[in-house]
Structure 1
Amino acid sequence: MLAKTSLPRIRFHDLRHSLAPCLLAAGVHPKIASERLGHSTIGITIGLYSHVMPGMQANAVKQVDAANKAGKKASDRMIG
């Protein structure tokens, strides 16, 4: 069936290499991605796919900042 299409031929294993970056880029925790991929350790997952994770650092900073701001607002309401 695939031969009748213009889709590229890919191996089943190649699907794993497509799934991993998608999971990590979507914000799935690396431990969960590692388990889904069947890696024996999270270190394997991070070692192979850390190139898709740089944005996760910036996202973590934004989340902490938002939590701090929300906490300050709640604190101000309690005091004020």
Structure 2
Amino acid sequence: MPRITPHHFRHTHASLLLQAGIPIKEVSERLGHKDITITLEIYSHVMPEEKEKTAAKFANFVGF
């Protein structure tokens, strides 16, 4: 069985927050990152569906 470190719990916690739709700014502050670019660089792989959601929201807004 693989060893689970506190870092793994931190990464899982942050990933779940982002997948739950918590704003990146709040997640960044919770993790103690200096700014959101650090959070985005580390956790952007967790949010690929956000691009699709954004496109869908925009299309809906403009009536497509």
| TM-score category (smaller protein) | 0.7 to 0.9
The amino acid across from 1:64 in the alignment is F
User: Paired residue for 1:59?
Assistant: 53
Match in the other structure for 2:15: 21
CA RMSD of aligned residues (A): 1.7
Name structure 2 gaps, 5 residues minimum.
none
TM-score, with structure 2 as normaliser: 0.76
Larger radius of gyration, structure 1 or 2? Answer: 1
Residue correspondences, number: 62
Asked if structure 2 preserves the Cα contact closer than 8 Å seen for 1:27 and 1:56, the reply is no
Give runs of aligned pairs for residues 43-54 of structure 1, distance below 5 A. Answer: 43-54=37-48
Using the TM superposition, give the Cα deviation of residue 28 of structure 1 relative to its aligned residue in structure 2, in angstroms: 1.9
Q: Percent identity?
A: 44
Unaligned 5+ segments in structure 1 are 1-7, 70-80
